[in-house]
Amino acid sequence: MDLDQRQLRAFLAVAETGSLGRAAAIVNLTQPSLSRVIQRMEQGLGHRLFERQSKGMTLTAAGEALLPHARLLESEMLAARAELDALRGLRRGTVRIGAVAAVMRTLVAQSLGRLLQDFPHLTAEAIEAVDGELGDALTGRRIDLAVTASALESPGVELIGTCDYADSFAAYCALSNPLSPRPTLDELAAQAWVMPGRALTPRIQFEAICKGLGLPPPTIAVEAASVETMIAISANSTLLCWLPQPLLAAHLANGTMRKLDVPAMETTRRFLLYRRRSGLLPRAARQFLDYFPLQSAP
């Protein structure tokens, strides 16, 4: 049978709420009308999609099988309508991109700036997050492109290429910190640090470097989720931080922070650009790719 957008929305609303009443409010139908839409859909497909229970509606095996396809179909319908509306001047195309902090504030920002200057009718939605959250946002269709600092393992994403850009991590401290500009590894081992959470990639990499250098586990005095918070704490204390250079550029320039000359603790990283494996890449995202420098493609 042919599925129309009204049926898809009805099916998804019931599947996601587990309730005819709540789903009816979402799709602006009365509960009896919504029930008839679902029944006609089941008849046309030749499968029961829901089990009607006293506590609500639960998906059958057929419903579970249909669910990911229904989500994809609705998303592609909405994307097609958005592109057609943009061509008619009824809606602006939107670049939806996520990236880790260092590259969002440099390469992505620069690329978006050039794109929006040439195409002022476009808009952009930018999400700054860590790799795992970017992968979830991509597969969850909250963004169309993701720039990560490590490979995404999800089968729902596809690598577009490696960015023509790299940055480097290094150790930093407050300008007023009495530590030597070229501290020894033993001196560093005696310091306390402000760091992101234990499960985040930079923290894992930093602890691996310390271990590889034969240093004891670092003393983490403060854990913070925000890069700016980490920098602010380091700038106002004797705590050290280990961060990518682009995030420190303004603080180095205004004299609140300084880089420690410890080559053994410096590491270079490159960035990867991903898209969803399923569906078409929206036109605005394709336009962004023309402005985003890639070094190589898989």
Higher pLDDT, 138 or 88: 138
Q: Which residues contact 208 (CB under 8 A, 6 or more apart)?
A: none
- The string of pLDDT tens digits covering residues 145-155 is 999 999 998 88
Higher pLDDT, 53 or 273: 273
Higher pLDDT, 259 or 84: 259
Percentage of the chain with pLDDT > 90?
A: 57
Higher pLDDT, 285 or 85: 285
- Judged against a pLDDT cut of 80, whether residue 75 lies above it is answered with no
Are 144 and 281 in contact by the 8 Å Cβ rule? The answer is yes
Higher pLDDT, 85 or 161: 161
Which of 44-48, 100-104, 277-281 has the weakest average pLDDT?
A: 277-281
Average pLDDT over residues 134-150: 92
CATH class for the domain made up of 94-165+270-296: alpha beta
Average pLDDT over residues 118-139: 92
How many other CB atoms are there within 10 angstroms of residue 69's CB atom?
A: 12
Are 284 and 118 in contact by the 8 Å Cβ rule? The answer is no
Q: So what's the pLDDT on residue 85?
A: 67
Phi, psi of 145 (to 5 degrees): -135, 145
Domain positions in the chain are 5-87, 94-165+270-296, 166-266
- The string of pLDDT tens digits covering residues 95-105 is 999 999 889 99
- Judged against a pLDDT cut of 70, whether residue 51 lies above it is answered with yes
Higher pLDDT, 134 or 200: 134
- The string of pLDDT tens digits covering residues 232-262 is 999 999 999 999 999 999 999 999 999 999 9
Q: So what's the pLDDT on residue 86?
A: 63
Are 132 and 265 in contact by the 8 Å Cβ rule? The answer is no
Same-fold call for 5-87 versus 94-165+270-296: no
Give the closest residue to 256 by CA, choosing from 275, 271, 241, 273.
241
Q: So what's the pLDDT on residue 90?
A: 39
Q: Does domain 5-87 have CATH number 1.10.10.10?
A: yes
- The string of pLDDT tens digits covering residues 155-203 is 889 999 999 999 999 999 999 999 999 999 999 999 999 999 988 889 9
So what's the architecture of 166-266 in CATH? 3-Layer(aba) Sandwich (3.40)
CA angle 151, 243, 240 (to 5 degrees): 140
Reported as a pLDDT band with limits 50, 70 and 90, residue 19 is: confident
Average pLDDT over residues 13-19: 87
Percentage of the chain with pLDDT > 70?
A: 95
Which tokens go with 83? Answer: 């592109």
Q: So what's the pLDDT on residue 92?
A: 66
- Judged against a pLDDT cut of 70, whether residue 125 lies above it is answered with yes
Q: So what's the pLDDT on residue 137?
A: 93
How many other CB atoms are there within 10 angstroms of residue 6's CB atom?
A: 12
Q: So what's the pLDDT on residue 100?
A: 93
Q: What average pLDDT is seen over the chain?
A: 89
